[in-house]
Structure 1
Amino acid sequence: MSSLSRRSFLGAATTFGLAARAAGAATAGTPAAPAGAPKFGAALPLTGAYALEGDEALRGVLLAIEQVNAQGGIGGKPIALAQADMPSQSAAAGAVNGLISGAHANILFGSGTSALSYPATAAAELAQTPFIELTAPADGIMTRGFKFLLRTGPTTNMTGNLAAATIQARFAGRRLGLLFNTGATGGAIAAAAIAALATAKVPVTLSAGYPEDAADLYEQTGRMMRAKVDVLLHAAGPDDVLAFFQAMKVLNWTPGTLIGCGPGYELRDTAQALGNPLEGTLVIAAPFYPGEAGRIASAYEARFAVKPRSAQSCTAYVGAKLVFDTLNAAGADPSKLLAMMRKLNLPFGALANGFGASFDNTGQNTASFVTLQRWRNGTLIPA
């Protein structure tokens, strides 16, 4: 286990990311669309620490493009997508500006992860270019008063609130621990959970944060063990999930119940890396290809030769498809997109993964949600 790391995940992400781009995603060299036509760009981490999350979101966008193009595209023209890699926060603004000035994109998708969404969406706002945040969940992304930003997916507040409600309903009276990385997503989930637990007057026996790039979690895990934590809520990315399970193995300790939040716990790659130790772990995340979304999962497997790796691709597909459908209803006029999306009032269940579409005054889709799931035989199922 000690040899398992994000690098082992990134090999697959890079391989399939290159395949996706070679399979038909247009780049900045694509011939310019007619003036006034929608020109799409995607700013995602396709290399670097967040490449797996970015590549999975890209796959969802590509599947949505494939479906819409098969149905005639937008305004009778096929959708092309320019891509820009933003491997780090310092590269985010340049990626966005390159899509706008170089590829002439007038509608942007992102961001794969919250840490990169902050600078990417700020750059788009400065350029007054619509940015549709598909998957990055941190609450603070939407609290800056931006006019050109909408988010179609769920928030860290939704995750934290469901975690607190689950603990209150199912595990009341047990010794509760909260372990989290202090990154943009993990820290926001923890803050939301702590606030909700305090409101519900559910005591937390021990809370411990650690840097997102922590090399190991032996010290924090040992503290949870010594505190006799029985129910542990862990907000983590891919690396720190592996580090936590490695620490539990070395210390020969596991909590009675583990509730995982954050991108690390929803990855099929995590289940493949950990195997049986992850079996039965509860996970709070966006729906993993439920019901009608099964057809999207089938298209995913046909396109990329593997099963979907996380709910991020499904969430990204649903958000991108909503944009494309709205543009078709707007006569393919990109200047009408944001206003029309803000007027949407689609009920829960209207979209393929069970989401609806209803945007509040911050630009957040309040009809998106997360659910309680469980790992069973390498698949996330409702809990």
Structure 2
Amino acid sequence: MKRLTSLMLIALMLMLAACRGGEPSSASSGGTKDGKESDPIKIGTLFPLTGELALLGEESFRGVKLAVEEFNNNGGLNGRKVELVVGDAVDSDAAQAEANRLINQANITTIVGSYSSGVAFAGSEVAERNGVLYWELGAVADDITGRNYRSILRINPMASMLSVVHINFIKEVVAEKLGKDISDLKVVIAHEDSSYGTTIADEAIKLAKEEGINIVSVLPYGASSNDLSSVVLNIKKAEPDVLISVAYINDAILLSKQMKELDVEVPVIVGSGAGHTTSDFKDAVGEENAEGIFDIAYPQYHINKEFTPGMDKFIELYQEKYNGHPKSGHSLASYMGMKVVLDVITQTGGDVDPEKLHETALDYKVERGTTATGWGVEFDPDTGQNMLAEYYVHQWIDGKLVTVYPEEVALEEPKINE
């Protein structure tokens, strides 16, 4: 009898072992290194949600959350939901620590980020060392994808593309509006002196030289400065037709206020990126002082909606969740970028193995004018940079940031006082 009982127990154990053996256990099935097909698809996020960068870091993260919530509300991937595992990267040191936590403690195999170039550099370095795929949705420094890492894919445009739009806009629009030959224009560049501002300034100088545009003065400064009067006085001395300003939000506000205080006027002011795009800039300097200022940046919301299908849906989702209009185009860029990430994951059937995702992403193609930002998608196989992402020119008109260039996205003609 005892022998019969023992045989029955052994048979039962073998049956249970066989059942367990049929369960998946690899990273490719669950979103983490030990996931299962029934588990949520886990994706790590790395954004500055507190500290000095939190204003647009949080705004960028909101776009990611909205894309994921929309995906989950539409049924997820065959019923599987996406779960975000959040990292707060206030600076590059925190980015390194949080990336290590996500990868080595939370077992995350794909990460999205990060708005800040410093955060992106540090986080992607950790990802590269650990064989984890890093999707950049907002940071712009050229060297992020210039390192030719296999671990990074960037969906948004890089910083040097801002300079391309600067020079093209000056050449194709500003010179004609001012009634001058481009060789007669005087251009000043005032830029914050981190890698962000320096990259844009250096590229603009190079491109201007090629086009015969005269850069009469280049004025670097620290973004944390509380007095830019010396920069303003040097602008006044140069008497430029065009001021290219490369600034974050606080120095953009300070520069504008001190130009007003010191009675410095420039016919055409063209900002670059976040500094001049937010409603906070307009509110801080006053609608009258913001009027007429151009800014080259991510897509904003007064734009040709036929070229940006899905933007109205994003605005609706944002307003419903956050009880207000989006603060800048950063949330829109992250929303569009995260939808690309989710599309690629869908194409792999939920497989988040880094190599599989990378291979699938390189085959993923989207035409311009078919996304909420208007960007297309085609990744450079060597760098991981999306070659179809682009910046547009906007102008503060009657308290709104209106898209004015290029023509396919413009709602109004650029307004320049000759």
Partner Cα distance (1:339, 1:215) in 2: 47
Partner Cα distance (2:157, 2:279) in 1: 20
Runs of 4+ in 1 over 4 A off after TM superposition: none
SS in 1 for 2:313: helix
Partner Cα distance (1:76, 1:326) in 2: 17
Larger deviation: 360-369 or 337-346? 337-346
Matched, 1:332 2:350: yes
RMSD across aligned positions (CA):
1.7
Partner Cα distance (1:144, 1:347) in 2: 26
Matched, 1:239 2:239: no
> 1:375 pairs with 396, 399, 414, which one?
396
The letter for the 2-side match of 1:282 is F
- Counterpart of 1:349 in structure 2 is 369
> 1:34 pairs with 36, 39, 50, which one?
36
Partner Cα distance (1:288, 1:71) in 2: 26
Asked if structure 1 preserves the Cα contact closer than 8 Å seen for 2:41 and 2:83, the reply is no
Paired residues for 1:161-172 under 5 Å: 161-169=164-172, 170-171=174-175, 172=182
- 1:297 deviates by 1.2
- 1:37 deviates by 6.5
Asked if structure 2 preserves the Cα contact closer than 8 Å seen for 1:75 and 1:332, the reply is no
> 1:137 pairs with 140, 148, 151, which one?
140
Alignment deviations for residues 143-168 of structure 1 (CA, whole Å, 9 cap, x no partner): 11211100000111111111011112
Partner Cα distance (2:101, 2:397) in 1: 43
- 1:230 deviates by 2.3
- 1:249 deviates by 1.9
The letter for the 2-side match of 1:320 is M
- Counterpart of 1:7 in structure 2 is none
> 2:229 pairs with 202, 213, 218, which one?
218
Asked if structure 2 preserves the Cα contact closer than 8 Å seen for 1:115 and 1:183, the reply is no
Asked if structure 1 preserves the Cα contact closer than 8 Å seen for 2:273 and 2:298, the reply is no
Matched, 1:359 2:382: no
Larger Rg, first or second structure (1 or 2):
2
> 2:292 pairs with 274, 280, 305, which one?
280
Larger deviation: 161-170 or 286-295? 286-295
Partner Cα distance (1:149, 1:214) in 2: 33
Asked if structure 1 preserves the Cα contact closer than 8 Å seen for 2:187 and 2:242, the reply is yes
The letter for the 2-side match of 1:158 is M
- 1:212 deviates by 2.4
Q: How many residues align?
A: 353
> 1:150 pairs with 143, 150, 153, which one?
153
- Counterpart of 2:122 in structure 1 is 119
Partner Cα distance (1:378, 1:342) in 2: 41
- Counterpart of 1:45 in structure 2 is 48
TM-score, normalised relative to structure 1? 0.88
- Counterpart of 1:306 in structure 2 is 324
SS in 2 for 1:362: coil
Asked if structure 2 preserves the Cα contact closer than 8 Å seen for 1:43 and 1:108, the reply is yes
Partner Cα distance (1:297, 1:202) in 2: 39
Alignment deviations for residues 322-365 of structure 1 (CA, whole Å, 9 cap, x no partner): 11011112111012211111112221123221111100120000
The letter for the 2-side match of 1:252 is D
Partner Cα distance (1:105, 1:272) in 2: 40
Structure 2, unaligned stretches of length 5 or more?
A: 1-31, 176-181, 405-418
- Counterpart of 1:196 in structure 2 is 207
The letter for the 2-side match of 1:39 is K
- 1:304 deviates by 0.7
Asked if structure 2 preserves the Cα contact closer than 8 Å seen for 1:115 and 1:184, the reply is no
CA distance 1:339–1:205, shift in 2 (3 Å): same
Asked if structure 2 preserves the Cα contact closer than 8 Å seen for 1:278 and 1:375, the reply is yes
Structure 1, unaligned stretches of length 5 or more?
A: 1-29
Matched, 1:319 2:326: no
Asked if structure 2 preserves the Cα contact closer than 8 Å seen for 1:64 and 1:320, the reply is yes
- 1:33 deviates by 5.0
Larger deviation: 264-273 or 325-334? 264-273
- Counterpart of 1:25 in structure 2 is none
Partner Cα distance (1:75, 1:95) in 2: 30
Partner Cα distance (1:60, 1:162) in 2: 25
> 1:79 pairs with 73, 79, 82, which one?
82
Partner Cα distance (1:260, 1:218) in 2: 18
The letter for the 2-side match of 1:357 is V
SS in 2 for 1:334: coil
- Counterpart of 1:209 in structure 2 is 220
Matched, 1:60 2:60: no
Partner Cα distance (2:242, 2:229) in 1: 18
- 1:124 deviates by 1.1
- Counterpart of 1:16 in structure 2 is none
